[in-house]
């Protein structure tokens, strides 16, 4: 009964994942169309370069042209933020099919933060003379954050691999790093084991899981 319920929940969430992914794609297409339209209407710096069909509006076009980059940048920032939110929600819906709510929420937050960071780099590159300013700012910030969070990120990445590849599953009795217990939770930062008597929880950093030999007891077999 429990497995059937899980399958039903998973199937029910599938349209939601698809719809949110489609919504994200539509936002991206909308942004591309709007930026292209603005560039066509106001991307002319001289009256001679303005197409014949737009000549009657030459004065308006020439007045708006110097501010076009700011209008487009604001548009990218506004709709880009909506895209980031939509994408992170789609990722959350997908992750809820394969893991628990706290883990899915964490992945959603990380995707959102990365999306905002990329959006800011794009915004700065549009306002600057070229993309090099944005790349320099982004690289320096990434370098500082990378050094500060090297250990945390290694456990996080290891946690993602554990959740997606599932080398062990809930309820397995394993021995790792000299500790034996039942797999209770697989979170992004650590693996939680519970001792047989249920009195103790053992938290093992996920980065360690990939560097240790894991002994997994086979079901239905006993030592003689």
Domain locations in the chain? 2-148, 163-216
The CATH code for residues 163-216 is 2.30.30.60
Q: How many Å separate Cα 124 from the centre of its chain?
A: 21
* Interatomic CA distance for residues 209 and 155, integer angstroms: 9
Residue with the bigger pLDDT between 169 and 12: it is: 169
Q: Beta strands of the chain (E only): which ranges?
A: 173-176, 179-186, 190-194, 201-205, 215-216
Does the structure show a pLDDT above 70 at 131?
no
Percentage of the chain modeled with pLDDT above 70 = 77
Which residues contact residue 126 at a Cβ distance below 8 angstroms, ignoring those fewer than 6 apart? 69, 72, 73, 76
Phi (first) and psi of residue 199, to 5 degrees: -90, -15
In the prediction, which pLDDT does 81 show?
Answer: 93
Does the structure show a pLDDT above 50 at 7?
no
pTM of this prediction? Answer: 0.60
- Any idea how long the chain is? 224
Does the structure show a pLDDT above 60 at 222?
no
In the prediction, which pLDDT does 141 show?
Answer: 55
Residue with the bigger pLDDT between 27 and 96: it is: 27
The 10s digit of each residue's pLDDT in 148-206 is 456 666 767 777 777 777 778 778 888 887 888 898 887 767 788 988 888 888 888 88
The 10s digit of each residue's pLDDT in 24-60 is 899 999 999 998 999 899 989 888 888 888 888 889 9
What average pLDDT is seen over the chain? 77
Averaged pLDDT for residues 105-133:
76
Give me the residue label for tokens 């710096």. Answer: 45
In the prediction, which pLDDT does 152 show?
Answer: 63
Residue with the bigger pLDDT between 134 and 152: it is: 152
Asked if residue 42 lies in contact with residue 65, where contact means CB atoms within 8 angstroms, the answer is yes
Between the alpha carbon of residue 215 and those of residues 48, 136, 167, 170, 171, the distances in Å are 76, 46, 12, 15, 14
Least confident of 22-26, 59-63, 211-215: 211-215
């Amino acid at each position: 009964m429990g497995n059937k319920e899980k399958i039903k929940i998973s199937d029910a969430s599938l349209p939601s994942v698809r719809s949110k992914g489609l919504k994200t794609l539509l936002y991206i297409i909308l942004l591309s169309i709007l930026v292209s339209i603005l560039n066509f209407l106001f991307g002319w710096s001289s009256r001679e370069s303005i197409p014949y069909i737009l000549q009657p509006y030459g004065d308006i076009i020439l007045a708006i042209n110097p501010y076009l980059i700011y209008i487009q940048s604001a548009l990218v920032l506004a709709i880009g933020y909506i895209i980031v939110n939509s994408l992170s929600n789609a990722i959350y819906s997908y992750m809820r099919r394969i893991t628990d709510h706290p883990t899915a929420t964490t992945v959603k937050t990380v995707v959102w933060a990365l999306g905002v960071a990329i959006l800011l780099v794009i915004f700065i590159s549009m306002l600057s003379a070229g993309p090099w300013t944005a790349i320099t700012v982004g690289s320096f910030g990434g370098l500082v954050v990378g050094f500060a969070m090297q250990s945390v990120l290694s456990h996080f990445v290891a946690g993602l691999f554990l959740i997606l590849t599932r080398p062990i599953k809930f309820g397995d009795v394993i021995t790792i790093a000299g500790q034996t217990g039942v797999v209770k939770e697989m979170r992004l930062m650590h693996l939680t084991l519970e001792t047989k008597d249920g009195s103790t929880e053992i938290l093992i950093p996920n980065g360690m899981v990939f560097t240790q030999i894991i002994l997994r007891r086979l079901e239905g077999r006993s030592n003689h």
